[in-house]
Amino acid sequence: MQYILASQSPRRKELLEKIIPEFLIEPVEGEEVLTNDHPSVAVQKLAQAKAKEISKKHEGEDVVIIGADTIVVKDGMILGKPKDAADMRRMMEKLQGNCHSVYTGVAICYWKDGAWMEHSFAEETKVYFFPMSEAQLDAYALDPDGLDKAGGYGIQSKAMVYVKAIEGDYNTVVGLPVARLYHELCDLGIAN
């Protein structure tokens, strides 16, 4: 059985290597479309779209495709990837000194008995940030690190100095809840 990660995220790659030593990486090309569903449902739909896109290339093959997506939610508003540095600063200003939720949705597609089987789940982790001064917000906006991340920050990078506490799985915030994924794969009978 071959595993495929439907993502080009280096963070997801590192995390998946902890439970599956060998897998292929096939990035998706489709555009992410957010729905107005509850965040846990919306993020699962994003992950499902990724896994399904890759599954079309592997019809009938003995593969397990894993798609994942992460969103940040503050006051009911989903914060995706910032458009630019000013947008990233605006997001951090909203998050600083407060609590927000990070949801990672995971979709698993695998070929069984002549058809694609699909399974998905979402994990939520609450993140608390220390307050940030205007100077800290300005300095943060100068670093492009958060431009490719939901909510404008990566918990494993420079934003870590503003993280006061988390409730839940740290790896959910990084982008792949590997412990839950491992157990879901075991429950489906497709874990190594």
For the annotated catalytic residues, the residue numbers are 69
Per-position b or e across 56-82, b if 16+ CB within 10 A of its CB: eebeeeebbbbbbbbbbbbeeebbbbb
Rounded (10°) angle between helices 134-141 and 85-95:
140
Answer whether 90's CB lies under 8 Å from 147's CB. no
Backbone phi, psi, residue 186, to 5°: -65, -45
Taking the CA atoms of 142, 145, 151 and 155 in sequence, report the sign of the dihedral they define: negative
